């Protein structure tokens, strides 16, 4: 049994303390955690979804552009961060699992641990409409 890296454990603990929505993944994009404020936007409690691969969550939490068309996962800030280990930012619509549409702004950044180890990514987001 191996525990997660301490940087991921502390990222989750910080996310649990924040009132801004936070979404945490590992380096492969697998969803590790999202906090209670994120649950309100995504429409489902984390306990109900659990960990989930990027191919799954990028479709379940439907990202839409301004015309209402589905977005390519590669255009999502979090996926860009995972691909290039750099911060990214963007705004788009998301259709929650409750069927509600929210326009959100997302900023994502890589979790670079001690020794410059790439360990995952965090996205913070908030509703703008």
Q: Closer to another protein by CB, 1 or 128: give it.
A: 1
How far is 32 from 128, CA to CA, in rounded Å?
25
Which residues from 88-127 bind another protein, rule CB under 8 A?
Answer: 113-117
Q: Closer to another protein by CB, 5 or 56: give it.
A: 5
Tokens representing 45? 């409690």
Residue 53 binding another protein, by CB under 8 A: no
Among 12, 34, 93, 125, binds another protein (CB under 8 A): 12
How many beta carbons lie within 10 A of that of residue 4, not counting itself? 15
Residue 128 binding another protein, by CB under 8 A: no
Helix (H) or strand (E) holding 14: helix 6-17
Contacts of 7 (CB under 8 A, 6+ apart): 111, 113, 114, 119
C-beta of residue 104 within 8 angstroms of C-beta of residue 126 = yes
- Closest separation between CB of residue 11 and another protein, Å? 11
- Closest separation between CB of residue 125 and another protein, Å? 21
Binding site for another protein (CB under 8 A): 1-7, 9-10, 12-14, 16-17, 113-117
């Amino acid at each position: 049994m191996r525990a997660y890296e301490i940087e991921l454990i502390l990222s989750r603990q910080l996310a649990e303390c924040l009132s801004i929505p936070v979404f945490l993944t590992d380096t492969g994009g697998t969803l590790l955690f999202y906090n209670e404020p994120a649950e309100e936007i995504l429409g489902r409690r984390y306990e109900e979804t659990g960990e989930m691969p990027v191919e799954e969550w990028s479709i379940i939490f439907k990202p839409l552009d301004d015309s209402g068309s589905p977005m390519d996962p590669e255009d999502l800030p979090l996926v860009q961060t995972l691909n290039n280990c750099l911060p990214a930012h963007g705004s788009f619509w998301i259709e929650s699992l409750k069927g509600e549409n929210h326009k959100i702004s997302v900023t994502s950044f890589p979790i670079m641990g001690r020794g410059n180890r790439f360990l995952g990514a965090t996205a913070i987001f908030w509703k703008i409409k």
